Amino acid sequence: MRPQSREISQLPSLRWRTGSASPGEVERFSRFFAPTLKEGPAEASAASHRLLVRAGFIRQLSAGVYSLLPLAVRTMSRIETIVREEMAHAGAQELRLPSLLPADFWRATGRWELMGAEMFRLTDRRGSEYCLGMTHEEIFCLLARDELRSYRDLPQVWYQIGTKFRDEPRPRFGVLRAREFAMKDAYSFDLDNAGLDRSFEAQRSAYKRIFARCGVPAVDVEAFSGSMGGRESVEFMVRIPAGEDTIALCPRCGYAANLEVARSRLPPIEDSVGGALERFATPGVLTIEALASPPYNVEPWRQLKTLVHVCDSQPVVAVVRGDHPLNEAKLQLATGASELRPAQDEAIFQLMGAHAGSLGAVHFSNRARVLLDEAVVGRTNMVTGANVDGFHLRGVDVDRDITAEIVDLRTVQAGELCPRCDGVLELDRALEVGHIFKLGTRYSVVLGATVLTPNGEQTPLVMGCYGIGLGRIMAAAVELLHDQDGIIWPPSIAPFAATVLTLGPEAELQELAERAVQVLLGAGLDVLYDDRDVRAGVKFKDADLIGIPLRVGVGQRGLNAGGVEVKRRGEREPRLVSVADLGSLAATLREQVA
Ligand code: ATP
Ligand code: MG
């Protein structure tokens, strides 16, 4: 063991606090558990997965199930602190509800079936069924039902920070999409929609501040509500290539929506005057492209594409323009189905009398529900399948020949016009980090959660719910900011704000390093003190890999020049700073940490 200055070595615990108002904490690297690795896991395709493993933050236990090591616990607790502060600011109160949840309540709302294979289910020794909580609308609503009596008790906004369990079909990217993960979920209870709107906006603002403070810029976009139900929802999206969602954005007016609900405007089309319906042979032509090629030469925008889906076990025929992709989320919304899948070949043939490639909805409506995309309304001289294999129909006048419900069914494409202004839409990959919903009375009505109005009547509680993935914020920060050497943490969620490295075994370096540690602690920074008996190069590499914002190297070279070598993570070269000046530098960083 190298000699240590009395100041530090005499302290009884590994961790101590200085005497100042909001002092930082220090950990000695020689005894701190941060197992860094040269290589990330071979299967890691996302930068955050690879780097969080390499830098000693997380370890995988099984598919989508991770242990958080001390560095990750520190970062997660910083994120939690920010979330708690902003929830308190928005008037929300912290609760902690169980994860082991009886099936009955889920059956009551229909979600025991609806959640399908994503729900982890188990049976106790008496044969009672349970699930592990994947979300808590039912459970919070029950608490509200049993405890809230009158409009005087409202509004209430309750939240918890806890573990959620979801048997994801594709757990991947490390903690970005795990099967067991940390979430903050909040639930608001109001007397009416106006109250819900206020609670919703308070949460929206809190979310914006949370993401800004975490150094993870997120855009709020219009979103699809899926299995939650309700009338409106907003997602918070971080624009990164690893994101599994696509969002449409208008750079001119700021319109932003998930592709699942995004809308756009199309330039009007002048069709040539339509004629009579006429069937023609198209042997072997099964695609839009084939019909667009010689000898047929029917441009995709003059074709109708007809697709068959099974929506909650009912067949539904959907028609869009040949060059427009059908949007399954919109189809699901329009049909109100809780489950939707493309129909099998056999079922298509039975319903339509032809196979995929020759389908059409002309004079069809009595055999299944037909939905028609808004963008083809009023079109004439179109071409579509004849519902006879190897034949198409030309001269289709959509309004005359197709009887259908008219809805928005197409997926917006880059370059189309913004629905709100004359801007042009861009598409971008994005990762959902938060999602907030106006649930309304969907849960309170079925669970009987009512309160007394001022007029003495019972009225169902009007609910909102608000989720944010804490592990996802941690991983998103890494996705956003890293380089070939490792992670570059936003100071506010870094596991340590600063690290002090001894760059040699000499006692005077040790002493100076410990002075530097004290200065940083005094300024309120958490410090990883790298006192290990390893080469300087190893210490530099680890500091960069772990991504600590401020690195203070204490070596002979600096000492001779009268200071220490300071480098902000992400900067190339260190600069010489006297220990006296380290205090003001630390104070500046402290402001970014707070
Ligand atoms: P996704 O579309 O990514 O599956 P979701 O719509 O299922 O997300 P919500 O039910 O709204 O997500 O959950 C709220 C938040 O919880 C999400 O915004 C996300 O930050 C986080 N989250 C959801 N699923 C996971 C997961 N498998 N691993 C880590 N975080 C998750
Ligand atoms: Mg999900």
In one-letter notation, the amino acid at residue 587 is A
User: Can you tell me the distance from the alpha carbon of 350 to that of 356, in angstroms, rounded to the nearest whole number?
Assistant: 12
Instruction: State residue 372's pLDDT score.
Output: 97
Which atom of ligand 1 is nearest to 432's Cα? 18
Burial class (CB in 10 A: 0-12, 13-18, 19+), 313: exposed
Cβ contacts of 74 within 8 Å, gap of 6 or more: 495, 496, 526
Cβ proximity of 334 and 407 under 8 Å: yes
Instruction: State residue 25's pLDDT score.
Output: 94
Tell me the pLDDT of the chain (594 aa) as tens digits. 333 444 444 433 333 333 344 789 999 999 999 999 999 888 888 999 999 999 999 999 999 999 999 999 999 999 999 999 999 999 999 999 999 999 999 999 999 998 999 999 999 999 999 999 999 999 999 999 999 999 999 999 999 999 999 999 989 899 999 999 999 999 999 999 999 999 999 999 999 999 999 999 999 999 987 766 667 899 999 999 889 999 999 999 999 999 999 999 999 898 887 789 999 999 999 999 999 999 999 999 999 999 999 998 999 999 999 999 999 999 998 998 888 999 999 999 999 999 999 999 999 878 899 999 999 999 999 999 999 999 999 999 999 999 999 999 999 999 999 999 999 999 999 999 999 999 999 999 999 999 999 999 999 999 999 999 999 999 999 999 999 999 999 999 999 999 999 999 999 999 999 999 999 999 999 999 999 999 999 999 999 999 999 999 999 999 999 899 999 998 989 999 998 888 888 888 888 887
Hey, what are 206's tokens? Answer: 């809190």
Instruction: State residue 228's pLDDT score.
Output: 66
Pocket lining: 220 vs ligand 1, CB cutoff 6 Å: no
**Centroid of chain to Cα 121:** 24
Strand 156-165 relative to strand 180-190, pairing: antiparallel
3-state secondary structure of 515: helix
Cβ proximity of 82 and 492 under 8 Å: yes
Which atom of ligand 1 is nearest to 235's Cα? 18
Instruction: State residue 65's pLDDT score.
Output: 97
Pocket lining: 133 vs ligand 1, CB cutoff 6 Å: no
CB neighbours (10 Å) of residue 337?
17
Hey, what are 150's tokens? Answer: 């009158």
3-state secondary structure of 50: helix
Taking the centre of ligand 2 as the mean of its atom positions, its distance from the CA of residue 369, in whole angstroms, is 29
User: Can you tell me the distance from the alpha carbon of 15 to that of 263, in angstroms, rounded to the nearest whole number?
Assistant: 55
Closest ligand by atom to 174 CA: 1
Which atom of ligand 1 is nearest to 434's Cα? 18
Pocket lining: 260 vs ligand 1, CB cutoff 6 Å: no
Closest ligand by atom to 227 CA: 1
